[in-house]
Chains A and B, each alone.
Chain A
Amino acid sequence: MEKKTKVLAEEGKQELDIIREFDLPVDLLFRAYVEPELLEQWMGTKVLKLENKKHGGYQFETTDPKGNRHGFSGAIHEFIPNERITRTFEMENASFGVQLELLRFEPTEGGRSKLTMHVVYESVGLRDEMLKLPFEWGVNMAHNRLEEVAGKLR
C-alpha cells in the first residue's frame, strides 16, 4: 500500500517535518487530538492529563509488552481549534531531551485535511537518534523473534 505520510529530514539539521493528508474534514482531524478517548484509541496511550489551552499541559502513558510504563508529557503553548497546536514533548526518563512540536491543521479540497508537524529537537545528534529509534526497534524485534525461534529449536 502506498504510504500517505511524508517525512522531510535534511541532514545536519535539528528539525524535521512530518506531513500527512487525511480523508477527514479538518474539524474531525483536530478532534482526534483533543478528545482523550479518541487520542487513546489511535495513539495507543493512556491519557492522564490533557488541558487543551494555552498554558495547559498534557501527560500520556504507555505500557510496553514487558509491563514497563513510559511517560510522555509536555506544555501547551498555543491552542487554536482546527488550526494550530504548539507544544513541547518529552519522553520521561529518557535521554532524548525535550522537543518543540508545531502542529498545523488545514482544510484541503474535497473536505479533506492536511497536518504538518514541524518538530525541533535540542540538537542535530538528538534528532538523528530519534529518527533511528523505530529502525532500532525493528532490529531489536527481529532479534527477539530470532531468539524466540532459536529458543524453540533448543
Chain B
Amino acid sequence: MNLRRDVFQAIADPTRRAILVLVATQSMTAGAIAANFDTARPTVSKHLQILIECELLTQEQSGREIHYHLNAKKMKEIADFIEPFRDMWDERFNKLEEVMKKYKSKK
C-alpha cells in the first residue's frame, strides 16, 4: 500500500500532473518538457525524478538524448483504485434512476 500512496502523492502536484499530460501523447526530452513551464529547469528535473521513482515515467536513452515515456500500466493502476468507489456510486445512482422512473410511470 505504501507504493500506492507514493503514486498518489506524485499526482497530487499540478506541475507533475501537467507533465504526465504532456508526455501522454509523445515521449519527450527533459528540455522539451521544461520548455512548457515557467518554473526553473532544476525544479522540473526534480518533478521528473519523483515521477520516475513512482514508475509513472520511464526513461529511454536514444543516442545522446534521454526520452521520457508515460508508464500507462501504472496510470491504469491509479484509475483502478478510485474506480471501484465510483462504480459503487454509479450503480447505486443507476438504481435510483430506475426506481424513480418506475415510480413516475405508476403515478
Q: How far is the CB of A134 from chain B (nearest CB, A)?
A: 4
Question: Does A72 lie at the interface of the complex (its beta carbon under 8 Å from any beta carbon of B)?
Answer: no
Q: Number of A interface residues, CB 8 Å?
A: 31
- Tally chain B residues at the interface, Cβ within 8 Å: 27
- Measured between alpha carbons, how far is A112 from B27 in the docked complex, in Å? 42
- Of A7, A38, A132, the contact of B89 (CB 8 Å cutoff): A7
- Indicate if the CB atoms of B85 and A28 lie closer than 8 Å: no
The reply to whether A134 and B88 form a contact with Cβ atoms under 8 Å apart is: yes
Q: Are B9 and A12 in contact (CB under 8 A)?
A: yes
Main secondary structure of the interface of B (DSSP, over half): helix
CA distance A31 to B86 in the complex (A): 23
Is there a chain A Cβ closer than 8 Å to B37's Cβ?
no
Determine the distance from Cα of A143 to Cα of B83 in the docked complex, in whole angstroms. 19
Q: Is the CB of B84 within 8 A of A135?
A: yes
User: Contacts A28-B104, A32-B100: A7 and B82 contacting too (C-beta < 8 A)?
Assistant: yes
Question: Is the CB–CB distance between A41 and B99 below 8 Å?
Answer: yes
The answer, yes or no, to whether A76 is at the interface (CB within 8 Å) is no
**Using a CB-CB cutoff of 8 Å, which residues 119-135 of chain A contact chain B?**
131-135
In Å, the complex CA distance between A3 and B79 comes to 14
Is the CB–CB distance between A134 and B12 below 8 Å? no
Cβ A5 vs Cβ B86 within 8 A: yes
Shortest distance in angstroms between A123's beta carbon and chain B's nearest beta carbon? 14
* A29 contacts B by Cβ under 8 Å: yes
Say yes or no: A42 contacts B11, CB within 8 Å. Answer: no
22 contacts between A and B (CB under 8 A): A3-B86, A5-B90, A6-B86, A7-B89, A10-B12, A11-B11, A18-B89, A20-B89, A20-B90, A22-B97, A24-B97, A24-B104, A28-B104, A31-B103, A32-B99, A41-B95, A43-B92, A133-B85, A134-B87, A135-B80, A135-B84, A135-B85
Which 3 A-B pairs rank lowest in CB-CB distance, beginning with the nearest?
Answer: A11-B12, A134-B84, A5-B90
